[in-house]
Every structure is written in C-alpha cells, then in structure tokens.
Amino acid sequence: MRSVEGVIILAQESRFKLVDDAGITKLFVLAHDAPIEPQDLQPLARTQARVAIRYEDTPALIAGIVHGIEYAGRPRSPDYAPSPHISAHTARTRR
Amino acid sequence: MGVPARALDYADSFLPGVIPQEAELTAGVRIEPGKSYGFFTDTTLCIGCKACEVACKEWNALPADDLGLKGTSYDNTGSLSANTWRHVAFVEKISGDEGTRVTEMQPFQSNWLMMSDVCKHCHNAPCLEACPTGALFRTEFDTVVVQPDICNGCGYCVPACPFGVVDLSPDDGKAHKCTLCYDRLKGGLEPACAKSCPTDSIQFGEVPDLVERAKARVVDLHAKGARNAYLYGAPDTPGATGGLGHLNAFFLLTDRPEVYNLPTAPTRAANRVEPALTAGLVTMAGLALTAAAVFALAKAGPTGPGRNGEIR
C-alpha cells in the first residue's frame, strides 16, 4: 500500500485530484472500503484540506484506489505505513 | 448558428468568471429547468478525434481505463464503461455485402464509420425503473443521473439497460454512467463533449429542436446522395422501440444499427415482467395441480391388478 500527502483540488463523485508537496497531481478513486463517502470529498476540496491517503495502483486504471484517508495533521492509525520514498519526501518538505 | 450579439460582451481572453448561460453562446440554447435536453450525434460528421472522450474524462475526473492495444481497431477505449462515458467507435468496412473487399468509396467518410456513443437518457429509462434505491433519478433537465452516495451497487441497472451503457466499477462498487454533465447544465454550461466537438457531430440542445434539425439533415444528406442516412432513437424511428419512447441522445446513422454496436430493436426490461410473472404463476399452478392429482391418486390407492391378478 502506498501513501501520499497533499491537497485535494477537485472532487467529482468518488473521484478526486490531489496535488502533493512536489506539485504533482494524481487522480484517485475512493475504494468501497474507504472510510469516507463521495459527499465528504466536496468539503475537503472546498476547504483545501491537507490530507494523507493510503492507496494502491491498479493495472487497469491510471488512478490510485484510495483505501484510507485522514487529515494530515492527525495522529496516524497503527496500520498506517507510508512507503520509505514518501516518508523521506515528507520529511524533506517538513524541515 | 450565427454569433449571438451577447458574445461581444465577452471578447476578452481572460474572463473574471463563468459566463452566465454560456450555452447560449456555444450551443445557441438557454438551459432552463423543466425543459428536455439531449444530444443529436450526426455520425457523418464524426472524424474520430476523440475530443469528446477527453473532454468528458477531464471534466468528470474520470481515469483512463482499459489500457493497452486492442488489436482489432485503432480505437483505444473499446467500449463504454464505468470510467468511459463517451466512446468513439471506429468501424472499418473492409468487406462488401458478399464478403468481397470494398472497391468503391461511400459518400461521406469513405469506408470508415465513426460514432461517438453515449448514454441515451431514454424517455422511459429501464435503468431508472430497475433501481431499487432511487439512486438513479430523472433530473429537471429530463436526463437520467446516478447518485453515487445512494447507489448500493446492486447492479440491477446494468442488465436493464438495452444499450449496455451502465457499468459497475469494481473499485468503488457503484454504478456509473454519463450524467449529461448535470453539474454543467445547472451552471448554464453546454456539456463538455458537445462543446469540444470540432465538427459539431455532437449537438446539444432541446430535444424537439434537435429532432427538427436532425430531420432536416437527413433530407439534406438524401439530396446529396447519401440515401442510407436515417435517424436512430428520435421519435418514431428505429431505436425508439420496445416502450422506450424516444432517446434524448439520438443518432444519425448510415448503416445498420448493429454495425455501430447498437441494438436493432431495444426494449424495456419492464416489458418482460408481466409475461415472465404470468409464466411463473401458470407454472406454479400447473405444478400444484399435478401434485394435488398425485396425492389424490395415492390416497385412493392402487386400482390396477394385484400381485396375484385379483381385482382389488
């Protein structure tokens, strides 16, 4: 499972675009087991909330399938395991 | 369509915001609740650029799917799906009626047929009739839209659609299809696909106006030699069959519907409920009668000759 932090800039139904700290935009789709519903995405996009998401890539889609999403500032759940690359990247941007 | 006088009010390259009722400038139609809106897709004008597909995916934030080469066509999206709400079909007519290679070019588009397929937003929408949760609803613009927050992913709408439009996403488990850009309509904007079409193959407007425009186009094509042009899905034409009423997104075709992957005579699934229910009830009644007869005979006891030939 991969992870990334960033700001949601656009939401349509259960799909959203997130810009990470490097300025890279990626499209995501909420999985059926995501902790939020499609209607929760619009407020996140409107408030430009910073979120941390856990996702997986799928070979049939150019998008990440989101299984976990939470405010970036909140304590992370025990099963939250960001990839080393993202951790290093996040550490750099937080310095 | 001429340039509306109001267009001169927005001559700057950079505008401060969205133009009110922008569809008046781009499609010549004012979008108001209570009216019926749809698409007229003239396949003789389609050049297969797929701008409509891209515009649809861009506006609706739909990811690219079904990646890879098909091996059967220059088409790279294949079909409509949960993540592809516009699909441009590439049909190459490489053989004649008797299996021989075509040696004469058809008027318009040579031997290629291209058609931008989309949800038809049926007047009597079978998907809407099949939805048990009310996630599918008819909007104030006479279009049919799925509400993903209400959809429970039962999938009843998928086989109910006679055109194979609605699809369940395996990722979020919900049904998805074209919304005819419901959010854009509410903002007075023309749907993204129609606005991006460079040849006006996809025309957006009020359905009665589009039907009149389409009929005039057929007459014009017939006069120019394309005698095979006809409407599919407009009132009283092929495609508007089986209790569907008419299709709010209808087409001008120049070959049989099945060549474009469209059903020749689509029907509502609801048409089959009454005969299916009747057949089921008749079957149950027949089985009950048979069972009753068997029990009655068993209760009466055997009537044939006994073991030693005596009559009992």
Length of chain A equals 95
Q: Is B109 inside any structural domain? A: yes
Q: Which helix (H) or strand (E) holds B220?
A: helix B207-223
pLDDT at position B3, please?
74
* pLDDT of B113 higher than 60: yes
**Cα A25 from chain centre:** 11
Evaluate whether B124 touches B268 at the Cβ level (below 8 Å): yes
CB contact under 8 A, B172 and A14: yes
Residue to mutate among A9, A12, A13, with most B CBs inside 10 A, is A13
Evaluate whether B146 touches B174 at the Cβ level (below 8 Å): yes
CB-closest option in B61, B148, B149 to A27: B61
Q: Is B207 inside any structural domain? A: yes
Which of B64-68, B203-207, B242-246 reaches the highest mean pLDDT? B203-207
Token pair listed for B107: 């008027």
pLDDT at position A90, please?
41
Q: Is B10 inside any structural domain? A: no
* DSSP string computed for chain A: -EEEEEEEEEEETTEEEEEETTS-EEEEEE-TT-SS-GGGHHHHHHTT-EEEEEEEEETTEEEEEEEEEEETTSPPPTT----HHHHHHHHHHH-
Share of chain B above pLDDT 90, in %: 73
What pLDDT, in 10s, does the model give residues B124-168? Answer: 999 999 999 999 999 999 999 999 889 999 999 999 999 999 999
Q: How many angstroms separate the most distant Cα atoms in chain A?
A: 37
Secondary structure letter of residue B296 according to DSSP: H
pLDDT at position B108, please?
58
What pLDDT, in 10s, does the model give residues B253-272? Answer: 999 999 999 999 999 988 88
pLDDT at position B273, please?
86
Chain B contact set for A17 (CB, 8 A) = 61
Q: Is B283 inside any structural domain? A: no
* pLDDT of B224 higher than 70: yes
Supply the CATH number for residue A24's domain.
Answer: 2.40.50.320
DSSP three-state, residue B60:
helix
How many separate domains does chain A show?
1
Q: Is B157 inside any structural domain? A: yes
Which whole-number Å values give the CA distances from A68 to A8, A20, A64, A80, B34, in the listed order?
14, 16, 11, 9, 41
Supply the CATH number for residue B115's domain.
Answer: 3.30.70.20
Share of chain A above pLDDT 90, in %: 63
| pTM, rounded to two decimals | 0.82
Chain A contact set for B169 (CB, 8 A) = 29
pLDDT at position A92, please?
40
Picking from A9, A34, A29, the residue whose alpha carbon sits closest to that of residue A19 is A9
Range of the domain at B132: 28-267
Q: Is B295 inside any structural domain? A: no
**Cα B1 from chain centre:** 27
> How many CB pairs below 8 Å do chains A and B form together?
54
Q: Is B281 inside any structural domain? A: no
How many separate domains does chain B show?
1
Q: Is B4 inside any structural domain? A: no
pLDDT at position B107, please?
62
pLDDT at position B121, please?
96
Mean of the pLDDT values across residues B18-44?
Answer: 94
Per mean pLDDT, which range of A80-89, B29-38, B162-171 is the poorest? A80-89
* pLDDT of A80 higher than 60: no
Q: Which residue has the tokens 């990722």?
A: B171
* pLDDT of A91 higher than 50: no
Range of the domain at A27: 2-94
* pLDDT of A47 higher than 60: yes
What pLDDT, in 10s, does the model give residues A57-75? Answer: 988 899 999 999 999 864 4
Per mean pLDDT, which range of A28-42, B4-18, B232-246, B257-271 is the poorest? B4-18
